[in-house]
Amino acid sequence: MGWAIVAGVSETVSHTLDRIDFLKPLDATARAATARLCRWRRFHAGEQILGQQGDTRDVCFVAQGRVRVVNHSAWGREISFDDIPEGGMVGEMAAIDGGPRSASVVALDEDTLIAFLAPRPFLDLVAGHPELALAVMRRLSGIARRATDRIMELSTLGANNRVHAELLRLARICRRPDNTAVIQPIPVHSDIAARVSTTRETVARVLGDLTRDGLLEKRGNALVVRNLAQLEQMVEDVRGAL
């Protein structure tokens, strides 16, 4: 049994961490023991889960729903870093180094269920399982690599090319053997804009141009990249010319 906090009231509930990718190397008994150490809370879409510069150090497991890692400029402009799906984890950096949160985390879906694990149990868990320690190192390496790529793109690519690069990232996740990709649901223009530091109008114009050129096609609630290799070449040509 774990603890859930709903509307400020704690209640005993039965939740599991079986869907958390990071914890899959553990056996069912160890996952159940970890779940009992967690605080559980449900969030509505748009509700803040973690605050930038906050003093909490808990690690968050996304047991249900999706969350987004965001930051805001001094002028209030939202900058989106990543979307974490169900089964993901966020917040481990603060648990490891004890520093303040570097970004905020907000719920994307209604009824998002989060398991909060305090820093000490998290560190003990990692220290006691080498496969989890290796997974943490790989996660942090991935964060560093993505941050490096993003810095280079923001420093060297124009807004149009940054939209192309973000579209390529989304397409590679859902690549098909026939050189196409089906992105579903259709990305929200403001979400892409927040990721590549441009405006919704620019995103709409770039996607419209790609659609007129026959590279993109809208099918119901899906955006189809009709020639993934061509999109990859467009992005690489610009990067190679720098």
User: What does the pLDDT look like over 194-235, one tens digit per residue?
Assistant: 888 899 999 999 999 999 999 999 999 999 999 999 999 998
The pTM assigned to this predicted structure is 0.74
DSSP class per residue in 90-142: E-HHHHHH-PPPSSEEEE-STTEEEEEE-HHHHHHHHHH-HHHHHHHHHHHHH
Please report the domains of the chain, with CATH numbers, ordered by start residue: 2-154 (2.60.120.10), 157-240 (1.10.10.10)
Largest separation between any pair of C-alpha atoms in the chain = 59
User: What does the pLDDT look like over 83-131, one tens digit per residue?
Assistant: 899 999 999 999 999 999 989 999 999 999 999 999 999 999 999 999 9
Closest CA to 90 of 126, 56, 47, 61: 61
Strand runs labelled E in the chain: 2-6, 9-13, 39-43, 48-50, 59-64, 67-72, 78-84, 89-90, 104-107, 112-117, 181-183, 216-219, 222-225
